[in-house]
Amino acid sequence: MRCAVFTATPRGTKTALRVRASLDASVDIFVKAGQEMPAEVRVYKRLAPQVEAAFHQYDALVFIMATGIAVRMIAGSLKSKLEDPAVLVLDEEAQHVISLLSGHIGGANELTRELAASLGADPVITTATDVQKKLAVDVAAARLALRPSPKEQIKRFNSAVLDDESIRYVIDENLARASFYKKRLDDMGLAAVFGRGLPPEKEGLTAFITADESVRREDVICLVPRRLVAGIGCRRGTEMSEIRAALEAALTRIGRSIADVSLLASTEVKADEAGLLALSAELKRDIRFHSNEKMQETIDAYGLSESPFVKKNIGIGNVAEAAALASVPAGRLALAKTRFEKVTVALVWEK
């Protein structure tokens, strides 16, 4: 996850540093110009254009300022609960952490709980299912990197959860990693069964975990696996076995395995890299090699950090994150670029 923290006062900046230390994520702190600057922060003069750019670059935005300011700053950028980033608000003393936007699919509620626990603050969460301590369908989907479809059904199903209606979770038995989803749902206390297709109508509501999102029934919401893209950079001549070991280690960090990877990606500079090509063949996964122009556009669009050394050698300063994000219309970092001995890996969920 990439997180942007905005602060306007020296006291707020101190709290922002605590936020960065509390999160196991890539955190950029944006500090208003005209005050003493701690190390490794970014400076802004006007908040509105900085927030507008960050809204599409980061997975989570944290405002250490008044809630009203945060609302005005994000209002013009809102699109959809399936696309908008998580947005949180803290007071300068970190007494309260407020989940403001994208509480379920964007992960704001869980991030709020995590931050509150780390900072000793009160979590403020107002979504009805969370208040009633019930597991919403879109929360279960988010935990499993599944996308609810059609999104209009989310409200219908979460209302059913609040009304204590029974919802059956059915997993397409032909789906890759079907047993993984079964175990994870069981761990969440949601009984799930395997099936070859949808149950008959008029048997209650069904959350159907499937790769086919074309189903349109009033009693069904499809939970569709999102693509997981692995962006990979490596030293020239790195063996396939070493690249694979690095990829497996990276996947372990997010609780996933090789079987979850949908696509490999890298820079066109590596288009003839034998180890990458061999890995693609062994895994039976496509690999995309992006041009420097496409990679630089992605770096600029997402505000990715660049290595001067890498840029000097191949013309762009970020390979793993940029390649993965360039492979999807919109992406969310599951794992920021992580360096192993000869390999760098970044993992991205398609939004």
- Residue 202 above 70 pLDDT? no
Q: What is the pLDDT of residue 272?
A: 95
Query: What pLDDT digit, counting tens, does each position of 100-148 carry?
Result: 999 888 889 999 999 999 999 999 999 999 889 899 999 999 899 999 9
Q: What is the pLDDT of residue 24?
A: 78
With beta carbons less than 8 A apart as the criterion, state whether 210 and 239 touch.
Answer: no
Residue with tokens 């992605």: 298
Mean pLDDT of 334-347: 94
Nearest to residue 169, comparing CAs of 224, 227, 223?
Answer: 223
Token couple for 240: 């396939």
Token couple for 222: 């499809």
- Residue 340 above 70 pLDDT? yes
- Residue 83 above 90 pLDDT? no
Query: What pLDDT digit, counting tens, does each position of 40-49 carry?
Result: 899 999 999 9
With beta carbons less than 8 A apart as the criterion, state whether 280 and 262 touch.
Answer: no
Mean pLDDT of 205-213: 90
Annotate 298-334 with DSSP letters as a single string: HHHHHT----HHHHHHHS-S--HHHHHHHTSSSEEEE
Determine the Cα angle at 329 with ends 325 and 333, to 5°: 35
Mean pLDDT of 297-326: 91
d(CA 113, CA 119): 10
Token couple for 140: 């279960």
Q: What are the backbone angles phi and psi of residue 134, rounded to the nearest 5°? A: -120, 145
Query: What pLDDT digit, counting tens, does each position of 286-310 carry?
Result: 999 999 999 999 999 888 888 898 8
- Residue 95 above 70 pLDDT? yes
Report CA-CA distances (Å) from 201 to 50, 108, 119, 169, 206.
49, 34, 48, 14, 9
Whether residue 150 is preceded by a cis peptide bond, meaning omega within 30 degrees of 0, is yes
Q: What is the pLDDT of residue 34?
A: 87
Average pLDDT, the chain: 92
pLDDT band at 246, cuts 50/70/90?
Answer: very high
- Residue 81 above 90 pLDDT? no
pLDDT band at 179, cuts 50/70/90?
Answer: very high
d(CA 93, CA 14): 9
With beta carbons less than 8 A apart as the criterion, state whether 224 and 210 touch.
Answer: yes
| 1 vs 54: which has the higher pLDDT | 54
What amino acid is encoded at 26 in this protein?
A: S
Q: What is the pLDDT of residue 338?
A: 93
Nearest to residue 86, comparing CAs of 26, 148, 2, 16?
Answer: 2
Q: What percentage of the chain reaches a pLDDT higher than 90?
A: 73
| 197 vs 144: which has the higher pLDDT | 144
Token couple for 209: 């975990």
- Residue 199 above 90 pLDDT? no
